[in-house]
Amino acid sequence: MEYHRRQLAGRDLHPQTLMMGFGYDPALSEGSVKVPIFQTSTFVFRSAQHGKEFFELMSGLRTPREGEQQGLIYSRFNNPDLEILEDRLTVWEGAEAALVFASGMAAISTALLSLAKPGEIVFFNAPIYGGTETLLMKVLPRFGIQGVEFPGSATPEEIAERLREARAMGRVAAILIETPANPTNDLIDIAYMKELAGTLTDQPGGAPPLMVDNTFLGPLWQKPLANGADLVVYSLTKYVGGHSDLVAGAVLGSRAAIAPVRGLRNALGTMSDPHTGWLLLRSLETLELRMTRAGENAAIVADFLAGHPEVERVGYLGHLRRGSPQADIFRRQCHGAGSTISVYVRGGEAEAFRFLDRLRLIKLAVSLGGTESLASHPAGMTHIAVPEERKRRFGLLPNLVRISVGIEHAEDLVEDLRQALA
C-alpha cells in the first residue's frame, strides 16, 4: 500500500522521512495531513460477518487470508493512533511488529508474564532500573517466578557460570538485560548474551528469548535486534516521547516473538491510549534532531565534569578506555554515547545532595531523555527500595548523581554545573 511505502525509485527511505507519514492514509481521515486523535472506545462493524472475522483474527483462531488485515474492534485491542505509531516504531528498529503500552513497566511486566510460568527463572543484569528490580525481586516471586541476577560488570565467564546456577534452579524462561545499565552505564554484550541463551536449547521449550531494555540509548544509538535480541522494550516516556509530558512503553520484535505478548496485552488491558499515541506520533517526527543535539551536549558536559576537581569520576560511554572490554562492546554494539551521565562527586550523600540542591538550570527530577536536563540521586530516589547491600555490590553508591542532558545550550549547562560544584 502507498502509505506503507518504504522505498522511492528503488532506494530505501530513511527513518527520519518515514516518520512524516508512514502507516497513515490521509484519505481515510478527510485528507488531514496529520493523524487525528481517534478518541473512541469502540468501532462500528460493516456487518455481523465482518465483526465475527475481526474477532477470529484478534483471538488467534485463524491466520489472515491473503491481503486481509485486522479490522478495528475496540480500543483495548487496537486503535488507529496506536497502530500507526506501532508501524513507525518498527522502522527505527527494523522490527516486524511493535506493541505500545501504558508505561515502560507495563511493557516489561506484560512481556515477562507472557513468557514465564511458576517455577521458572528470569535471568537479568544488576543494577537495573529500580522499577524493574522491584518487579523481578518482589512482585514476580508472588507468582512463583524467580529473578536471578548477574553483575553488569561481570566477565563473560562469570556470567556463564551464573547462568548455569540459574538453570539449576529451574527452567530459564527469559533473559532480560538493560544496556547500558541504569544508572551506572555498564554495557552488556547483546551478541554474547544471545550466544549464552543458545546454550540452553536442551531445556524444555528450548533456548530462552533475549529481551533488551533499550531505553538508555533509544532507537538512534543502539539497535538490539540487529545484535541478536528477540525482543526490545522501551520506556517511550524517555527519548521517543522526549517532552516529559506523557508515560508509555513498547515491545518490539518478530511477529512470532510478539504474538504471546499481544495476547496477554489484550487480556490485561495494558496498552496505551489514543491521545498518548497521538503525542508520540508528534514526537517521533523530531526524534533524530532531539537525540542528536542532546548527544552533542552530553559530550561537552561529560568532558567538563571529568576535569573538575570535585568530581571523583564520570561514567560516560564516550570516555571508555580504548582497548577495554567495555570499549569493545561499545564499538560493536552502539552508534552513539547517549546523553545520560553517571557522576560520582567527591564525598558521600551529603555532598551529592548539596550539589543537586545548588543546580539552577538543570532540574532536580527523575526520568531522562527529555528536552530539558534533569539530575537525580539514584540511591535515594529511583533505586531507594534496593537493599543497601545490593546497592553497594552493584555500584549504587551514595555519591552517585545521574544527569540526563537535554537540548539547552551546552555553555549554559556547563556554567550551571560549575557554580553547583564550586
What pLDDT band is residue 181 in, cutting at 50, 70 and 90? very high
What average pLDDT is seen over the chain? 96
Pinpoint the alpha helices (H) of 187-341: 190-197, 218-221, 255-268, 274-284, 287-306, 325-333
Give whole-number Cα distances, 89 to 29, 147, 409, in Å. 21, 29, 29
Average pLDDT over residues 183-211: 96
Say which residue, 66 or 306, is predicted with more confidence: 306
Give whole-number Cα distances, 126 to 180, 247, 306, 340, 363, in Å. 11, 24, 25, 18, 27
Q: How much of the chain is in helix, strand and coil states, percent to nearest 5?
A: 45, 15, 40
What pLDDT band is residue 1 in, cutting at 50, 70 and 90? low
**Each residue's pLDDT tens digit, 23-78:** 999 999 999 999 999 999 999 999 999 999 999 998 888 888 988 888 999 999 99
Residue 182 DSSP class: T
Average pLDDT over residues 105-124: 98
Give whole-number Cα distances, 58 to 1, 45, 90, 263, 343, in Å. 22, 14, 20, 8, 48
**Each residue's pLDDT tens digit, 207-247:** 999 999 999 999 999 999 999 999 999 999 999 999 999 99
Q: Which domains does the chain have, with CATH numbers?
A: 2-58 (no CATH), 80-281 (3.40.640.10), 287-421 (3.90.1150.10)
Report the alpha-carbon distance of residue 150 to residue 211 in Å, rounded. Answer: 15
Give whole-number Cα distances, 76 to 109, 269, 298, in Å. 17, 6, 39
